[in-house]
Amino acid sequence: METLKFLLFNVHDLKSVLEQERFAEYDEASIAMMLDSVKDFSDKELYPYFREMDENPAHFKDGEIIVHPQVNKYMKAGGDMGFISGPFSYESGGMQMPSMAVNASAFIQEAANNHLPGYIGLTVGAAELIAHFGNQFLKDTYVPKMISGAWGGTMCLTEPQAGSSLSDIVTTAIPDGDAYKINGQKIFISGGDYKGAENIVHLVLARIKGAPAGTKGISLFVVPKHRLDEGGNLEDNDVTTVGDFQKMGQKGYCTTHLFFGDKEDCTGWLVGEPNQGLKYMFLMMNGARIAVGRGAAAIATGAYHASLNYAKERPQGRELQQTGKKDASQEQTLIINHPDVRRMLLLQKVITEGALSLVFLTSRYQDLSQSLPDAESRAKYKLLLEILTPVVKTYPSEMGITSVNNGVQVLGGYGFCSDYILQQYLRDIRISAIYEGTTGIQSQDLLGRKVTMENGKALQLLSEEIMNTIKESMAYEALKPLAEKLGNKLELTQEVLKSLMTYAAKGDYQRFLADATPFMEFFSTIIMAWQWLDIGCEAQKALLSGDTNFSAEFYENKIHAMQFYFKYELPKTTGLAELLMDKQALTLNSEKQVFA
């Protein structure tokens, strides 16, 4: 909690966001109190069920999805405590809380039990789509029930034959008075149905009869499991759960296969204008992708503290002496005293804390892009949010897996056994690199769209933000060498992009994007060095000024972690740059049988 508050209040300056008119009813003290209450709730109502939900998975039985009883209790609590209503405007019945605070609250919950918050997260996302783009009838009918926790929500995109290729979806919508008849199926629908839920409101992508082919012909519909009859009572809407998917992790978070219109009596209501469905869905995708990164950071954080606690308690072997020998007569030492174990723990620390810092940074950009009074400033932060969204989704997910994997290694053989929790964290986090667009999709978005958007303006603005941190850090003698290293990496980024852009300039976009994923790794490693320099700068400033909000040891630990990141992680970009600028094209399709 200390690290969370340091990042939120000190490093990313929540106060400057709270000064905006939209958030005028909040101050730092009220947010801190809220987070403490969320921590208390999570300790009592989430963490105790973490292993239990893994051992007793959600499952399909007799036409229903059976979930742990805590799911329904959590949805009700989520409505009562404002977990759902937090980001919504006062006009929509919400709490109008800044994204930074909402994500801090969700992070605490996900660190305690990552199987539960997804039910609320998808309800928030679906209700936000209705609140932003729906007509008054849809807003009045669905949003209040959803943000109260009485009704759940989902987003239904994927179909069996289409996968991530949304241009290939075939679910149909045929006009029927002021609504539409929906027919089709959707797979991998998280929180799609479960016993005890009064209603589930699905946001469904479908094609209106006669719509253009591809993504240009996709519309968005509200399709509830139960619709309201003329008397205001719930009746069946011909939405059928035909099965579920048993996953390697997050087993308490149900994933369903749904069929719409099996009896040709499924009614959907159009959201906004026809053929704009994908645009609406993706306008809300920034929040969803931040949420995936946040969840991955939370899982990795839980795993880090589990392996750290183990290392502090487990005696094994003797410390290696300066002579290179061990004294067998000595008592065994705790494994945290072994340098290689400390290296793995420090790697976990820099990944998890750096990832949380990135979550708060993008949340801050999201808040400022919506709340600043002048349009030019809002546009600036929107561009910064756009370029960092694929990074905040990908780095915590991919490196979170690396982090938890190191946690398993810290426990040795016990890490591979179900008696200990590390193996569950590793299974749970693996889906993060797939949720809301795989790593490959995010990487192509970063290099193919975000880096080049508005003639590189987003990248320019991001470089300016990084340079501001470098300039501030140069004022501290201890940080100068690290600031200079980061500056050199910015120059290397320009060199890499210049090399890659030669393919785009020739119209060879397949070659341009062939190594988008290594570019994501290169780019995000530099972004995280920026985060750690920012953290180290704030800690250094606090030490020199005698700041007592946190202990001197706390600040010194942050500086040590920053130094570790710059020594062990940042140098990897040199090899990645060499890879990215190599002219060989070894992954492009050709007549050569490379997989024979």
Nearest to 284 by CA among 191, 165, 430, 153: 153
Nearest of 356, 382, 354 to residue 290 by alpha carbon: 356
**Angle of helix 453-473 versus helix 480-505 axis, rounded to 10:** 170
Pairing of strands 151-156, 199-208: parallel
**Parallel, antiparallel, or unpaired: how do β-strands 199-208 and 172-176 relate?**
parallel
Tokens coding 298: 């939370």
| Candidate list 45, 128, 159, 436, residue with the active-site label | 436
Q: Please confirm, yes or no, whether 436 is among the known catalytic residues.
A: yes
User: What is the DSSP code (8-state) at residue 439?
Assistant: H
Of 242, 313, 256, 298, the C-alpha closest to 115 is: 298
Cβ count within 10 A of residue 460: 12
Spatial separation of the C-alpha atoms in residues 78 and 96, rounded to whole Å = 16
Direct distance between the N- and C-terminal alpha carbons of the chain, in angstroms, rounded to an integer: 53
Q: What is residue 327's three-state secondary structure?
A: coil
> Three-class SS of residue 159?
coil
Torsion angle of the four alpha carbons 373, 377, 382, 385, in this order, in degrees rounded to the nearest 10: -110
Angle, CA 37 vertex, CA 33 and CA 40 arms, to 5°: 140
Where are the extended beta strands (E) located within 140-238? 151-156, 172-176, 179-190, 199-208, 219-224, 226-228, 234-236
Q: Which of 307, 315, 300, 316 is nearest to 342 (CA)?
A: 307
Q: Six-digit token pair at 287?
A: 């929040």
What 3 state SS string does 219-282 have?
EEEEEECEEECCCCCEEECCEEEEEECCCCCCCCCCEEEEEECCCCCCEEEECCCCCCHHHHHH
Max CA pair span of the chain: 86
**Contact at 8 Å (CB) between 425 and 306?**
yes
Residue with tokens 């849809």: 138
Q: Residue 304: what residue type?
A: Y
Q: Over the Cα atoms of the chain, what is R_g?
A: 25
Side chain identity, residue 80: D
Residue of 310, 320, 291 whose CA lies nearest to 437:
291
Read off the tokens for 434.
């797939």
Q: Which residue has the tokens 């007799």?
A: 62
Report, as residue numbers or ranges, the catalytic residues. 436
